[in-house]
């Protein structure tokens, strides 16, 4: 039984991989025209699909929106009962239907035609009603579903998702979409935090642990302990002379040829500390620390 299930899972992977791979042969001038129309649009790309196609449509819309192409999902049933009002005259609609005959989708076409909303369809049948009535049709090809009954959308939805990803990635290239742009749309993610957080956002700028060059061991230790940062800054007026870390103190205590407690800040400080501008990205600090650690 275990072997049979493993083989069944492998069959699913092979069927879906074959279907996605075959999409490379489907790319032609229509794909480029679709890209250009979306890229040059002054509106949004509205994606519409029923059932499993709808779930895939939501993911495609989310990917597009997060990578520089304004997009949102609209449920065809809700669209037929008022949500078509969400569309502006500048928008483009993408209708997803594997068969190209989904009733809830087909019912929207007369209104879309009347309003002259450009229509892109994704179907597996270029001869279907939806394909013929669309301005552009992206053909994902007809393949056996991975479902044992050949009924549940599996291969077809994977192919649709891949087509949507191809559109999103190509549009990213056309928009010259950079990591900084991605971070702007993902401020809560790790990349967003890295690229949007500035040094000044995380640095300590009050009650700094400052000592003078002549400060002795006891006072240095007191300042470092009080600030709980593991360092103190050696200043002469407004001039930075160096820093002293916990490690500097330990090394001084172990290596001093004089009395272990008989030294001043200027004798053990690091005189060439690495500094960074307050307006730099916080990620730059991480890069510097990793580089120095690996040396």
**CATH code for the part of the protein at 204-277:** 3.10.580.10
Residue pLDDT tens, the chain, 295 long: 777 889 999 999 999 999 999 999 999 999 999 999 999 999 999 999 999 999 999 999 999 998 999 999 999 999 999 999 999 999 999 999 999 999 999 999 999 999 999 999 999 999 999 999 999 999 999 988 988 887 889 999 999 999 999 999 999 999 998 877 776 666 666 556 666 677 787 778 788 888 898 888 888 888 888 888 888 889 988 888 899 888 888 887 777 555 556 788 888 888 888 888 877 777 777 777 777 766 5
The answer to whether the beta carbons of residues 19 and 141 sit under 8 Å apart is yes
SS3 for 103?
helix
Q: Is 75 annotated as ligand-binding?
A: yes
Positions of CATH 3.40.50.10490 in the chain: 2-177
Residue 266: what pLDDT?
86
Cβ neighbourhood burial of 146 (10 Å; 0-12, 13-18, 19+):
buried
Q: Which CATH class is domain 2-177?
A: alpha beta
User: What is the DSSP code string of 275-286?
Assistant: ---TTSBHHHHH
CA distance 5 to 11: 10
Positions of CATH 3.10.580.10 in the chain: 204-277
């Amino acid at each position: 039984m275990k072997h049979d299930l493993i083989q069944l899972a492998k069959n699913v992977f092979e069927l879906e991989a074959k279907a996605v791979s075959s999409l490379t042969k489907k790319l032609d001038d229509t794909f480029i025209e679709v890209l250009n129309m979306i890229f040059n649009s002054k509106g949004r790309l509205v994606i519409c699909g029923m059932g499993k196609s709808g779930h895939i449509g939501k993911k495609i819309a989310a990917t597009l929106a997060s990578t520089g192409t304004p997009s949102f999902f609209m449920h065809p049933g809700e669209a037929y009962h008022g949500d078509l009002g969400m569309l502006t005259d500048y928008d483009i609609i993408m209708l997803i239907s594997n068969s190209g005959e989904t009733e809830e989708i087909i019912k929207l076409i007369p209104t879309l035609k009347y309003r002259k909303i450009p229509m892109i369809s994704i179907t597996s049948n270029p001869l279907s009603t939806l394909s013929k009535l669309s301005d552009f049709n992206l053909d994902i090809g007809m393949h056996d579903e991975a479902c044992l009954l050949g009924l549940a959308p599996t291969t077809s939805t994977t192919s649709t998702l891949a087509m949507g990803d191809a559109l999103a990635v190509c549009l990213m290239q056309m928009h010259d979409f950079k990591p900084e742009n991605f971070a702007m749309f993902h401020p809560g993610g790790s990349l967003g935090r890295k690229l949007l957080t500035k040094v000044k956002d995380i640095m300590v700028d009050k009650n700094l642990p400052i000592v003078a060059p002549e400060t002795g061991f006891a006072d240095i230790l007191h300042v470092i302990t009080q600030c709980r940062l593991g360092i103190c800054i050696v200043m002469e007026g407004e001039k930075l002379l160096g820093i002293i870390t916990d490690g500097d103190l330990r090394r001084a205590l172990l290596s001093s040829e004089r009395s272990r407690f008989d030294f001043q800040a200027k004798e053990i400080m690091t005189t060439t500390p690495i500094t960074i501008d307050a307006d730099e990205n916080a990620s730059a600090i991480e890069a510097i620390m990793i580089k120095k650690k690996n040396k």
